[in-house]
Structure 1
C-alpha cells in the first residue's frame, strides 16, 4: 500500500509540471508549447515502438486512424486548451477545473453505460458535486480579486482562460471514454502497445502542427524567433522534461500504483496531480495561497474523494411481458 501510494505521489508530482510549463515560458505561444511537448513525447515513443513492433504490426488501418483521433484530441487539442487557459487565467483556476476530471469522467461514463456498469445514485452524488463547485467558486473569487487589484486587469482575458479550461475538461472527458471503448472492443490487444501506438501517432501530428505554426507566423509577420524562440535552450529543456517525466515516466509510475492499490483508492489519489500543480503555481508566484484559496482546495479534494466513493447501483433488467396464447 505504501509503495503504491508513493508511486501515485511521484506520478502526481511529475504530472504537475504540465500546468507550470506555460508559466515558465510565458512569452512562448500556447500552440508552440503544445507541439513542442508532443514532438518530444513522440520522439521518446520511437524506441518504445521498436520494442512493441510485433504488437504494433497487428494494428489495422482503422486502429491507426483511431489512434490518430485519440492523439489529436486527448493530447494536442487538450494541451492547447489547457496551456492557453493557464496563460490567460493563471495557474490556480484551470488546475482546479482539471481537478474535477475524475468525477466528470465517472459521471459521464455512468450516464452513458449505466445499463452495463450500474447507475450512480444522484441523491448521494449531488452533495459532493456541490462541495466541488463551492471549492472552484472560492478559488475563482480569490483569483478574480487578485486580478481586479491589478492596474492593467483584463477580465475578458481571464474569462476566456476559464472557458478554455472547460474545453480542456471536455477533451479529456471524451478521451478516456473513447480509449476504453477501443480496449474493450479489442481484449486480445496489449494496452501497453496501444499506448505506444498513440505516442507514435502523436509524432506526425506534432510535426505537422509545428510546420503550420512556423509557416503561419512567417506569413503573418509575427515577431517571434522561430523555430525555438528567444530562449531555445530553456524551451528544449522544458519540452524534453515534460515529454519524459509528465508524458512517459509519470504514466509508468501511475501504472505501478494501479497494480498495487485498489481501483477505488487510485481514483482518489489523482488529487496528487492537482495539489502538485497548485503548489508549483504558487511557488512561481513566490507567495502563499490566500485563505480562500486554501479553503477552495480543501473543498475540491474533499468533494472529489467523496464523489469517487459513491458506488453505482445495479439497474434492474426490464421485465418482458409474458407471451400470450395464440388467439383461437
Structure 2
C-alpha cells in the first residue's frame, strides 16, 4: 500500500513538471516570426484540440464513466484554463514585460494557499506565515524594477497590469473548479479529462477565429500560410501545445489527485520562477541582484511549504482528497 508521504512526493514531482511545462506559455510573444499573437494563440489551441481528439480514443473506457455534465465541464475548463489564461499571459508579457506578469502569476500561490487552507484547513494559519511571507518578498524583489521605473512600458503599463490581473483571476477560478471537479472524477479518468480540456480549448479557438479574421487581427491570411516564417510559427505552436496543453495538464491533474490544495497552491510559485528564467534568457541578460534574491526566496518558500506539508505530524491531516 502506498504511504500518504509517498503519494505527496509523487504529487510534488508532477506539480514541478507541470509548472515547468506551463512556463513555456511565457515565451509565446518571442516566437511570433512577424505574425500576431492572435495568430499564434488560435493556431496553438486548434493544434491542442486536434491532439486531444487524436488521444481521446485511447481513453474510451474512461469516457464511459463520465456524464454529459462532466464532458461539458471539462471542455469549459479547457477554454478557461487554457485559452483564456494563456492569452492573458501573452498580453501581460507583451504590454508589461516578462517580469511583471511572472510576479503577478507568482502571487497565485499566496492566494491559492489561503483559499485552500480556508477550504480544507490542512494547516494552522501560523504555519503558512513564513512561506507566504517569503513568497511575497521574493515576488516584490522580482518586480522591483518595474515598480521603480515603469518607463519601459509607459504607454501600455495599464494594459499589462490588466492582463496580469486577469491571468491571476482566471487561474484561481480554474484551479478551484478543476480541483472540485476532480474530486468527483474516477481515479483513472485523468487522461480523458485532459483530452476534454484540450478539445474545449480547441473548439473555443475555432469559434473565435471568424471574429479575429473579421477584425483584422490575423496576419496569416495576409503574409501567407505556407511561408518559412509560417512554418516556424506552426512548429513553435505545436511544441508549446505539447508541453503546456498535453504534458502540463496531464501532470497537473495527477498532482491535483495527490496534493491538498494548500500545497498545490504553493507549488504554482515554481511557474513564476521558471517563467522569469525563460524571460531573462529570451532577453539575453542575467538577473539583477534583486531579481536573483527574489528567485531564491521564491524557491526557498516553496521548498519550506513542501517540508511543512510532508512533516510527520501532518501526514494524516494533509492526505489528498483522492487516492
Would you say same fold, with TM above 0.5? yes
**CA distance in structure 2 between the partners assigned to 1:184 and 1:12 by the alignment:** 21
Counterpart check, 1:87 vs 2:94 = yes
Conservation of the 8 A alpha-carbon contact between 2:39 and 2:220? no
Deviation at 1:285, TM superposition (A): 1.3
- Which deviations, in whole Å up to 9, do the C-alpha atoms of 1:242-287 show, x marking residues without a partner? 0112221344566788999999988766555433322221111111
* Alignment correspondent of 1:24: 31
Closer, same or farther: CA 193–109 of 1 in aligned 2, 3 Å:
same
Alignment CA distance shift 1:55-1:160 (3 Å): same
When normalised by structure 1's length, the TM-score is 0.76
1:60-209, aligned counterparts within 5 Å?
60-111=67-118, 113=119, 117-118=120-121, 120-145=123-148, 147-148=150-151, 153-187=152-186, 190-209=189-208
For the residue of structure 1 that corresponds to 2:156, the secondary structure is helix
SS in 2 for 1:236: helix
Residue 321 of structure 2 is matched in structure 1 by none
Structural RMSD (CA) = 3.8
Unaligned runs of 5+ in 2: 1-5, 318-323
- Alignment partners' CA distance in 2, 1:223 and 1:42: 19
- Check conservation: 2:55, 2:195, Cα contact below 8 A: yes
The equivalent position to 1:234 in structure 2, one of 232, 235, 240, is 232
The 3 A distance-change label for structure 1 pair 44 and 223 is closer
Compared CA separation, residues 248 and 105, structure 1 to 2 (3 A)? same
SS at match of 2:128: helix
Asked if 2 retains the 8 angstrom alpha-carbon contact of 1:22 and 1:86, the reply is yes
Q: Structure 1 residues 263, 98: closer, same or farther in 2, change over 3 A?
A: closer
Alignment of 1:303-314 (within 5 A): 303-307=301-305, 309-310=307-308
Higher alpha-carbon deviation: 243-252 or 283-292: 243-252
Deviation (angstroms), 1:195:
1.8
Q: When the two structures are superposed, what TM-score results if normalisation uses the length of structure 2?
A: 0.77
Question: Partners of 1:163 and 1:26 in 2: how far apart?
Answer: 25
Structure possessing the higher radius of gyration over alpha carbons = 1
What are the ranges of 5 or more consecutive residues in structure 1 without an aligned counterpart?
315-328
Q: Distance in 1 between matches of 2:206 and 2:69?
A: 22
* 1:33 is the counterpart of 2:37: no
